[in-house]
Structure 1
Amino acid sequence: MLDFLNDLLWGKVLIALLIAVGIGFTLASRFVQFRYFGRMFRILSASQAFRKDKHGHLSSFQALLLSVAGRVGGGNIAGVAVAITLGGPGAIFWMWMVGLMGMATSYLECTLAQAYKQAEPDGTYRGGPAYYIAKGLGPNWKWLASLYSILLLLTFGFGFTALQSYAVATSIEDAFGVSVFYSGIGLAMVVGLIIFGGVKRIAKVSEVLVPVMAGGYILIALVVLGMNLDRIPDVFMLIVKSAFGLEPAIGGGIGAAIMMGVKRGLFSNEAGLGSAPNVAAVAYVPHPANQGIVQSFSVFIDTLIICSATAFIILLSGVYDPASIGDIGGVALTQASLADHVGEWGRSFVSVALLLFGFSTILYNYYLGENSINFFKTDNQNLFNGFRVAIIGLVCWGATTDLGTVFAFADVTMGLLAVANLIALIMLIKPGLRIMRDFDDQISAGIKQPVFDASKFADMNVDPAAWEIELEDRQPTAANCQQRQRADTLI
């Protein structure tokens, strides 16, 4: 039954929906992910991107790092290896396509999450797909918002937490000989210390962990590329030709390449799943499009940079042999490939990278689970504490259990999660374009930092309390400038 549902969702339904949203919004937005690619860096380099507001919300940069912490996980190391094993090198090409289109999808869903975020009594924000479905589509669609929240809890809060724990524990055992029992307990203890501190503590950990883990992995990939410069064009052509069936069938032919590229690409960068918008909505930004642009960049980091790094490490190695590729797969293939390039310490490096990637993803998964519970009930602290204890237990259990069935179940729930979110995005493309045009118009008018005026979007059911922009982030008017000049003259 699980195999049938997986084939239906990933082989037909999701490919159609991903193409409809990714290509559809790319065209409707005039290629927003490329138009504003340079602006991603300007937003992140601005002082406002690092500054919290008066309530201490996450900054735009912290929200980016937290979403990267979630996107960059076992899918970037083990998932890419699985895609190559089952779909051949061509799967990487389709993973790239999912990433490029996913940048537009991520922009749309994260912009909507920001626009429809809700101010809480304590001054914090809550938001995500459940909120933009309930507010943007109206009361008749509350059932879809509730269904999405339940699927989010099952997929990320429970299923993927156990899977990440399993991947980390087995990798440590393979590299260092540490029993999965002990590594599971150790991982659970550290996770517990952090998640009981809430999202701000998770963000602080991610602020340190993400640049170290991603930067280190990219650096070793650059070393491998430098050692094999003359072979890079051949590998690139192998990927492209395999994607269109121009090479002898490897790993199941063109159909398997497309299916594995889409499936593992979405699993890795999560664009369209609606997971990242839960984090994007928490940040303080002057305009929703700001965070949409930033989150679009996180998809680029995940798929076009880190997944590509793993793919080239594997395909440039002497370990990769299409005839016997089925004999070794998953994280073991990545470990063996890096060891072939740099020596046996490469196995340990991959294990440490997977440990850091998996650990950061577990923290991210916890927050998504918490946010899904929060959609139903916000004032029961015992419920949240119970969920935290359950997460600690899942980390221990996942490290010591064969999770084949859990993986298949999580694939199904992830597929249903994506279907629910993508249907909502199709119905909310017009509001998304309206917010984008507001941002575009202000940029065209010479305003360096566009500001979201919630009163202009009252018909969209946005929360005005969530859009109290601080004075220093507002574009100075001519009247304000004259008042400042008079004040300076008096002084």
Structure 2
Amino acid sequence: MLDILNKINAFLWGAPSLILLFGTGIFLTIILKGLQFKKLGYAFKLAFTKDKEDADAEGDVSNFKALMTSLAGMIGNGNIAGVATGITLGGPGAIFWMWIAGLLGMATKYAEALLAQVYRVKNEKGEYSSGPMYYIERGLGKNWKPLGAAFAIFAAIAALGTGNGVQSNTIADVMSNSFHVPGWITGILLVILTGLIIFGGIKRISNVAGFFVPIMAILYIGGSLIIIFLNIDQIIPAFGLIFEHAFTPVSAAGGFVGVTVSQAIQHGVSKGIFSNEAGLGTVALIAGNAKTSHPVKQGLVAMTGTFIVTIIVCTMTGLVLIFTGFWDPSGGLLSGVTHDASLDGGALTSAAFASTLGVVGEYIVSLSVIFFGFSTIFGWYVYGSKCFEYLFGLKYISIYGVLYLAATYLGAVLDLKLMWAVADMTNALMIIPNLIGILLLYKVIKRETENFFANPIEKRQRAA
């Protein structure tokens, strides 16, 4: 079964899906005239300051809390383990292609959040519900409902795996290795804490995210900046390696097997997408809850999340691995320090931090993995529950909550190779209906954007 799923995933995450994701980002960048570059400063202003126009807008949470909830789902162990895997398999040049995936993904994230606002609905509790299934059904018509339902099914399953079970499994490993806490105890603690948060509704989840996300970002980025500062003389050579090997192969040396340009592109783009979730449609599942006076505003706020995750957090991880030489068992091109070739993923990043900061560095990564993993668990609950609500109605949502908590515990105590494979498959399958919806609704995205920037607030009219 595992072999079959791995073969399916190799196809789903192969060239066709990467071309679809990459192509959608390029298409949206063109029709939006490079909005993610021209309006980035304004987007950050909207995300981190209060806008008077939004004070009386309809919604459940502020732009900031919607962004933090989205980041809670995005900033995860992919930013630690995923980047380490990407750079060891794709060389320093993979970071450049992560940047490209992130910059193009910003346009996709913008489109997802904008459509979420345009086509959101109110549920029986008076809270907003949104997501690709709503903009597919309401934007394209009832005949497209099966496509929307397909997205909801894939996302609800993916949340149990990618956003929950595999995260609790990673947390349990760290708790066992760093703090000698048995997996079953970690599982019970995670179930209790997760239950207290998710059964409090979207407002409690967003409040916790608003508290957790800044702390974990400061912890991890702070540790990364210390290492970067201690290696300040290596910044230019490090960026030189990144740009050089984005377009030229890395030769085999020592324990490093060598990397082609195509491998750098493949691993950079795929890990960039894994880190920022652009194209998966997850941001649309929370963006509709934001209080905003125009859909374009939430689109702009949402795209800052991709910038933060890929351009900032992933770059920090990549630079630490290059500075310390831990991307290459032979010591890398900037360092003569060798390391255990069996290390990979999060363990490799942890060792890189520890090589400069000692045990403090190891604990920074360990605590980051715990915080990142836990925030991802409750962030993805929002995604999964919204999809379950769409499929079965709000009155059955507690059933999903119980399933989610069960997956949390099982993830902490079981071997999850099969769950990883299923989660990877459903993640890939989420992309297809979502991007079909976005591409078919591109005129709405374009009109809403042009309307917002062409007219003052009193003259803006909804294009949809």
Partner of 2:282: 275
Q: Are the aligned partners of 1:73 and 1:354 in contact in 2 as well (CA < 8 Å)?
A: yes
Match of 2:371 among 341, 346, 356: 356
Match of 1:293 among 300, 303, 306: 300
Partner of 2:422: 409
Match of 1:304 among 282, 291, 311: 311
Matched, 1:387 2:390: no
1:246, CA displacement in angstroms?
3.5
Partner of 1:486: none
1:173, CA displacement in angstroms?
1.6
1:137, CA displacement in angstroms?
1.1
- In structure 2, do the counterparts of structure 1 residues 260 and 325 end up closer, same or farther at CA, with 3 Å as the change threshold? farther
More divergent stretch after superposition (171-180 vs 205-214):
171-180
| AA partner of residue 343 (structure 1) | G
Matched, 1:11 2:14: yes
Instruction: Measure, in 2, the Cα distance between the counterparts of 1:178 and 1:251.
Output: 39
Matched, 1:81 2:88: no
Q: Are the aligned partners of 1:49 and 1:59 in contact in 2 as well (CA < 8 Å)?
A: no
Match of 1:234 among 228, 234, 237: 237
Summarize deviations over 1:102-130 as a string: whole Å, max 9, x none.
Answer: 01111111111111111335432111110
Summarize deviations over 1:192-239 as a string: whole Å, max 9, x none.
Answer: 111111111111101111111112211111111110011111121222
1:251, CA displacement in angstroms?
5.6
Partner of 1:329: 344
More divergent stretch after superposition (250-259 vs 366-375):
250-259
- In structure 2, do the counterparts of structure 1 residues 6 and 259 end up closer, same or farther at CA, with 3 Å as the change threshold? farther
Matched, 1:284 2:291: yes
- In structure 2, do the counterparts of structure 1 residues 52 and 439 end up closer, same or farther at CA, with 3 Å as the change threshold? closer
Instruction: Measure, in 1, the Cα distance between the counterparts of 2:277 and 2:52.
Output: 23
Larger Rg: 1
Q: Are the aligned partners of 2:161 and 2:420 in contact in 1 as well (CA < 8 Å)?
A: no
Q: Are the aligned partners of 1:85 and 1:325 in contact in 2 as well (CA < 8 Å)?
A: no
Partner of 2:382: 367
1:277, CA displacement in angstroms?
0.8
Which residues in structure 2 correspond to 1:220-231 (within 5 Å)?
A: 220-231=223-234
5+ residue gaps in structure 2? 331-338
Instruction: Measure, in 2, the Cα distance between the counterparts of 1:251 and 1:270.
Output: 28
More divergent stretch after superposition (150-159 vs 91-100):
150-159
Indicate the SS of the match to 2:80: helix
Q: Are the aligned partners of 1:93 and 1:239 in contact in 2 as well (CA < 8 Å)?
A: yes
1:36, CA displacement in angstroms?
0.7
- In structure 2, do the counterparts of structure 1 residues 451 and 356 end up closer, same or farther at CA, with 3 Å as the change threshold? farther
Q: Are the aligned partners of 2:163 and 2:381 in contact in 1 as well (CA < 8 Å)?
A: no
Partner of 1:438: 451
- In structure 2, do the counterparts of structure 1 residues 54 and 43 end up closer, same or farther at CA, with 3 Å as the change threshold? closer
Matched, 1:94 2:97: yes
Instruction: Measure, in 1, the Cα distance between the counterparts of 2:341 and 2:13.
Output: 22
Give % identity. Answer: 38
- In structure 2, do the counterparts of structure 1 residues 166 and 183 end up closer, same or farther at CA, with 3 Å as the change threshold? same
Q: Are the aligned partners of 1:176 and 1:348 in contact in 2 as well (CA < 8 Å)?
A: no
Q: Are the aligned partners of 1:43 and 1:49 in contact in 2 as well (CA < 8 Å)?
A: no
Partner of 1:168: 171
Indicate the SS of the match to 1:47: coil
Partner of 2:70: 67
1:242, CA displacement in angstroms?
2.2
| AA partner of residue 227 (structure 1) | L
1:388, CA displacement in angstroms?
1.2
Instruction: Measure, in 1, the Cα distance between the counterparts of 2:406 and 2:327.
Output: 37
1:3, CA displacement in angstroms?
2.8
Matched, 1:396 2:409: yes
Indicate the SS of the match to 1:327: coil
Report the TM-score when normalising by structure 2. Answer: 0.92
1:440, CA displacement in angstroms?
1.5
1:452, CA displacement in angstroms?
5.5
- In structure 2, do the counterparts of structure 1 residues 135 and 168 end up closer, same or farther at CA, with 3 Å as the change threshold? same
Which residues in structure 2 correspond to 1:422-433 (within 5 Å)?
A: 422-433=435-446
Instruction: Measure, in 1, the Cα distance between the counterparts of 2:428 and 2:184.
Output: 31
The CA RMSD measured in Å over matched residues stands at 2.0
Indicate the SS of the match to 1:61: helix
Partner of 1:475: none
5+ residue gaps in structure 1? 461-491
| AA partner of residue 327 (structure 1) | S
| AA partner of residue 282 (structure 1) | N
| AA partner of residue 365 (structure 2) | V
Matched, 1:31 2:34: yes
